[in-house]
With several copies, the nearest count.
Chain A
Amino acid sequence: MADLTTKLGPVTLKNPVMTASGTFGYGFEYKDYYDLRKLGAVVVKGIAPFPSHGNPTPRVAEVTSGMLNAIGLQGPGVDKFLTGDEYMPFLRASGADVIVNIWGKTIEDYCEVAARLDADCAGITALEINISCPNIKEGGVAFGTDLNLAAKVLSSVRKATSLPLITKLSPNVTNIADFARCAVDCGSDMISLINTITGMAIDIKTRRPKIANLTGGLSGPAIKPIAIRMVYQVAQAVKVPIIGMGGIMNADDAIEFMLAGASAVAVGTAIFADPYAPLKVIDGINDYLEQHNCKSVAEIIGALRLS
């Protein structure tokens, strides 16, 4: 076994493979599949200060080598998340490393949920700030695609908690590096990317949008080349650790992200195809490191050869 220990700024994980927020529920749903402690971290579905119904249905549509989703951040809200049996209490008991993805409709919402989690942070490894969800009309889009708004929400959240902070970037921007620099300037300890890319699909029989919300976020292998490019661009722009994601189906994909500059990766849509995908990625990274005589994951991070 190669050493898979992964240092991400203030955080150390047992391996570099997480679940992508929104694709692994609250961990609870997969408890019968495997021991969650095997994962680098469980990143839970976005949590707001309030419970939320999410969007009307249909919320997903399958597209070539990917899917569109506009779940619209359905969730129990932070209170129930901290107390409900199938949420944080379960995760604490499981012994898994937990990263809580947070969102809100206003800056105050973000600060409130961050402060609540800060006050009750047993078992929470870090917060991931989702400024990039393209599905919520009230603010969500603007936070992730407007540098001034991003700076405001990120620096406010920084003041609301002393937990390690990950900023999750939206790919729906002209210059992703600007947003990464902004996040670092506002005190983020890590950057994660990419969230989904806004897309649309139309049923030509009914002439209706396949997603009730009209647009949805594109995820899956279709977006991988775009994600790899953005991870590379961000790795050139900032020095904090990067968590790469977008279309990772197997260890080869994950390694591609790491060579581009990601210190860790998250597996998302692939989990729908195969709940065991994150574990297979861990094993495959280990095999690659052994085959290439690497003693630790650090040796492949950003190891793209340009000459």
Chain B
Amino acid sequence: MKTGEIISNKLIQGSYFQVDFYAPEICRAARPGHFVHVQIANLTHRILRRPFSICDCSSDGALRVLYKCVGEGTTALSKLQPGTVCDLMGPLGNPFLAPAADEYPILVNGGYGAAATFMLTKESSNGGLMLLGARSASDLLLVNEYEAAGFEVRVATNDGTAGHQGLVTDLLQQVIQQETTRKWRFYACGPEPMLMAVASILQKNHLSGEISLDHLMCCGVGACFACVVKVKADTPEGWRYARSCKEGPVFNSEQLYLEK
């Protein structure tokens, strides 16, 4: 099993924390969209690991995860001190396809989605655009970091405390209508309803994109069928359940079977 000693673990904003693990092996293999499956040591009445997108990997082996405290596992994680050694599985999953040399990446993110796509900034030769949605200004993650990496950032907040008041999908509609000059490649990560809306907009506009889903996971390697999501398939029903840990978490938007 791979281990990751915690180098630092701190609150960055709102209820978001940033943890850096020393995990050189995982760092070497990690691609944008990959995740790590973390055993949270100080939660002895919980068996299952917690999956987190790899936000960043440094050349000296520091693997960065941004996480939101939403429940027992993430709260326990937030209390782990530097020096604690965690058991990590990874990198896992089907990563994003990097943008081709002539492609302009457009990221559509909500919440921690900004972390899941961050490593794409290193794969784009043309910069890119991130559309970022959140409940409130304080939930907007990594805006400076994306800008520093040469990406344009447009934001939408539900409460209007920053950028457009409304949904990130409003921004996506605008972009699709206005931007025509470049060859796009779409990427999206965020809460499921948002992703399904993104997939639906893309499908309606005969566009395709890469969508990273966040489904409840157990094994993380395709063995248990806990994490499935409906994808189009040649079955009587027109769909099959694909394992989002292995066949995903990144799916092509055209693959996804959207319920009416």
Contact = CB atoms under 8 A, between A and B. Distances in A.
Please name the 5 residue pairs, one residue from A and one from B, whose CB atoms are nearest each other, closest first: A25-B223, A29-B223, A60-B226, A29-B222, A74-B225
A60 B45 contact: no
A29 B226 contact: no
B66 interface: no
Interface in B56-95: 87, 89
B45 A59 contact: no
B224 interface: yes
Nearest to A62: B48
Contacts of A215: none
Contacts of A71: 224-226
B216 interface: yes
Nearest to B239: A53
A71 B219 CA distance: 13
Interface stretch (A152-160, A176-184, A265-273, A296-304): A265-273
B218 interface: yes
Given A23-B223, A29-B222, A60-B216, A272 B49 contact: yes
A272 B47 contact: yes
Interface residues of A, number: 31
Interface of B: 1, 39, 45-49, 87, 89, 215-216, 218-226, 228-229, 235, 237, 240-241, 246
Interface string A10-24: 000000000000111
Contacts of A66: 47
Interface in A110-153: none
B222 to A, nearest CB: 5
B218 A67 contact: yes
Contacts of A67: 47-48, 218
Given A65-B47, A67-B48, A272 B225 contact: no
Chain A CB within 10 Å, residue with most, of B47, B222, B235: B47
Contacts of A9: none
Given A71-B225, A271-B223, A272-B48, 15 more contacts: A25-B222, A25-B223, A29-B221, A53-B235, A54-B241, A60-B226, A62-B47, A65-B47, A66-B47, A67-B218, A74-B225, A270-B47, A273-B47, A273-B49, A275-B219
Contact of A23 (B45, B46, B219): B219
Contacts of A275: 1, 89, 219, 221
A272 B225 CA distance: 12
A64 interface: yes
B240 A53 contact: yes
Interface in A2-38: 22-25, 29-30
B223 A54 contact: no
Interface in A57-110: 57-60, 62, 64-67, 69, 71, 74
Contacts of B46: 62, 64-65
A216 to B, nearest CB: 11
A221 B221 CA distance: 22
Contacts of B49: 272-273
Contacts of A62: 46-48
B49, B220, B226, B229 pick with most chain A CB within 10 angstroms: B226
Contacts of A65: 45-47
Interface string A179-204: 00000000000000000000000000
B237 A269 contact: no
A269 B47 contact: yes
Given A54-B228, A59-B228, A74-B241, A24 B47 contact: no
A220 interface: yes
A272 B1 contact: no
Contacts of A53: 235, 237, 240-241
Contacts of A25: 219, 221-224
B91 to A, nearest CB: 12
A120 B3 CA distance: 42
Contacts of A54: 225, 228, 241
A273 B48 contact: yes
Contacts of A22: 224
Nearest to A33: B221
Contact of B225 (A58, A59, A269, A273): A59
Contacts of B221: 25, 29-30, 275
Contacts of B45: 64-65, 221
Contacts of A221: 45, 47
B252 to A, nearest CB: 20
Contacts of B216: 57-60
A60 B245 CA distance: 14
Contact of B223 (A30, A57, A59, A64): A30
Contacts of A271: 219, 223
A191 B65 CA distance: 45
30 contacts: A22-B224, A25-B222, A30-B221, A53-B235, A53-B240, A54-B241, A57-B216, A59-B225, A59-B228, A60-B218, A60-B224, A60-B226, A64-B45, A64-B46, A65-B45, A67-B47, A69-B218, A69-B224, A71-B224, A74-B241, A221-B47, A272-B49, A272-B218, A272-B220, A273-B39, A273-B49, A274-B39, A275-B1, A275-B221, A276-B1
